[in-house]
Structure 1
Amino acid sequence: MKELKWLIFDVDGVLIDVSESYDLATKFTVEYFLKELGREKEIDVEIIRKLRRKGAFGDDFKVSEALIGFALNGNVEEFVECFPEGEGIKWVRKRFGTIVEPDEIERIFNTFYLGEYYKERAFDFDGLWKKEKPIVKRELLERASEKFKLAVITGRNRLELKLAEELIGFHFESAVTRELYIKPDPKALWHLVRGENGVYIGDTINDSLLVENYKKEYGENFEFMMIGRDVKDVNKAIEELLGKRM
């Protein structure tokens, strides 16, 4: 196996605790549109997390769209339970059509998440990004940067990544945000590593699909560590990888 040169991270749920930001922004967005469409229903955040882990959605705008479709066409919990692992918004649209325009979902979601940072906000709201908390320890990232090339591949845009970096207190010189590529597009990984080996640390099926797609597309090896399955958390993952380079 080639020497590991890269440590690449997903951000949400890996570096940052988003349980009171993205999770709630998704919940509020879905409930907002259900109310607009005459079907008021409370959405459990655990259902959101389960769908995100199973699906290949790329961002929470599409997770929100899927949940709106589920809620309008039956039992949300049953749809999520039966949702095929690795499928995404194409599967949902093929089954239910496009119920709400994606641009409108993005506008309402960003209103909840970014608040005053979002110029096109639909109404005034104190952005939920302020509720985020760091998971990763900055000192571990600093130690890792002495031995590996560090980067992130995230569904966040550049502004949202900047907010995360300020919270962590660490800047990633290399990053792929959704302006460039949407996971699990393997070009997101190739854009950074160009065939060099490393580890991508994520927490969803979509993250594992990114690595699998990269290996199939480019014929290059790359490792994957899933938080909650292969390792307890990102700090433990970094510690283990640093130990192997000692």
Structure 2
Amino acid sequence: MKADEFDSIIFDCDGVLIDVTKSYDTTINRTISYVLKEIADITVDTPLTNEILLKFKSTGGFNDEIDITYSGILCFIAAKKLNKNPTELIIDVLDNADDSGIAYIENFLNKIDVDIADIKSRLGYPSTDKNDLIHATFDELFFGPELYSKIFQKESKFSEKGFIENDNVIVTSELIEALKKKFNDKIAIVTGRGFNAISSSLKEILNQFNVENSVFLEDESRDLAKPNPQSLIRAMKGLNSKNCLYVGDSMEDMILAQKASELGFQATFCGIYGSGKLPDMKKKLFTKHNVPLILESINQLPDILMIKKA
């Protein structure tokens, strides 16, 4: 890999620009706990361990945290019906998971003869209007009452502050300015977040990116979700990029870049491993899959690309 071979740089957000271990990851567990108590009278404080969260994200089919939430709920209820340890069941489910996401989870549970049709019907997930119990609870907990009301024009059933306030912003204005000079302003974002969620955390830093040619997948239809490469291809076309460096932290991001390249849009994946709770495991995962560029943090990019911070 040569530092001067790329004509643009495109970033994922969560785990790359922002450390989300105390925001999104916490919201996943809090939502699972709330919904399980509401619909199945199951009480559990921390349903998914850090290892299990990473297992979900390592399959390539769970870029959407609410999909992880839904799958966790299904598995806990299935475990109750089977009189099995839920953690052991989830590990069994994920050990050979492919990148089809919630479809794989549902098919696995059906194959082991546990009836989840009633629960699926009650949950109604995913819904096109995102008004199902899981979506609503997740968004209310994540955004908090004030921001939730502003975005959705609805009142939250929770009064506590949103977990989005626990976002730890890693990216700096200085780093983005240096990268903008290197790439002639061809710097954008392709993320599973919606625009409101990312702008709330990045604030004025977001304006330093080419927002017009960025893609915020929470605001798009589900069929565009990662690892569908069309979001990255759209961003590359908008930037008039022939060879981009795509910086992400998950298997979905790696597959996204690979699929874009297979379609003739050259994208090299850079894997970031240092912002999660299990960095060594993520680094090993990237190494196992021969990721061409593996960095602990985006703050190492200037050294790798041989540029100086502004």
How many pairs are equivalent?
Answer: 243
Structure 1 counterpart of 2:16, one-letter code = V
Give the corresponding residue for 1:240.
Answer: 304
- Which structure has the larger Rg? 2
- Deviating more after overlay: 60-69 vs 158-167: 158-167
Deviation at 1:167, TM superposition (A): 7.5
Deviation at 1:87, TM superposition (A): 3.6
Give the corresponding residue for 1:231.
Answer: 295
1:119-130 matches, within 5 Å, as: 119=149, 120=154, 121-130=156-165
What RMSD over aligned residues (CA atoms) do the two structures have, in Å? 2.3
Q: Which TM-score applies when normalising by structure 2?
A: 0.72
Matched-pair contact (CA < 8 Å) for 1:112–1:127: yes
1:91-106 matches, within 5 Å, as: 91-96=104-109, 97=116, 98=120, 100-102=123-125, 103-106=132-135
Unaligned 5+ segments in structure 2 are: 80-85, 110-115, 126-131, 274-282, 284-293
SS of residue matched to 1:51: helix
Matched-pair contact (CA < 8 Å) for 1:26–1:48: no
Deviation at 1:57, TM superposition (A): 2.0
Give the corresponding residue for 1:117.
Answer: 147
Structure 2 counterpart of 1:43, one-letter code = P
Separation in structure 1 between the aligned mates of residue 70 and residue 57 of structure 2, nearest angstrom: 12
Deviation at 1:104, TM superposition (A): 1.8
Structure 2 counterpart of 1:108, one-letter code = T
Against the structure 1 CA distance between its residues 30 and 83, is the aligned structure 2 distance closer, same or farther, given a 3 Å change threshold? farther
Separation in structure 1 between the aligned mates of residue 49 and residue 225 of structure 2, nearest angstrom: 23
Structure 2 counterpart of 1:106, one-letter code = H
**Shift >3 Å, 4+ stretches:** 167-171
Separation in structure 1 between the aligned mates of residue 180 and residue 264 of structure 2, nearest angstrom: 27
Q: Find 1:48's aligned residue among 41, 50, 53.
A: 53
Q: Which TM-score applies when normalising by structure 1?
A: 0.89
Against the structure 1 CA distance between its residues 111 and 167, is the aligned structure 2 distance closer, same or farther, given a 3 Å change threshold? farther
Give the corresponding residue for 1:165.
Answer: 202
Structure 2 counterpart of 1:223, one-letter code = T
Separation in structure 2 between the aligned mates of residue 167 and residue 83 of structure 1, nearest angstrom: 42
Find out whether 1:204 has 2:243 as its counterpart. no
Against the structure 1 CA distance between its residues 177 and 29, is the aligned structure 2 distance closer, same or farther, given a 3 Å change threshold? same
Matched-pair contact (CA < 8 Å) for 1:199–1:223: yes
Against the structure 1 CA distance between its residues 146 and 214, is the aligned structure 2 distance closer, same or farther, given a 3 Å change threshold? same
Against the structure 1 CA distance between its residues 234 and 45, is the aligned structure 2 distance closer, same or farther, given a 3 Å change threshold? farther
SS of residue matched to 1:224: strand
Find out whether 1:59 has 2:64 as its counterpart. yes
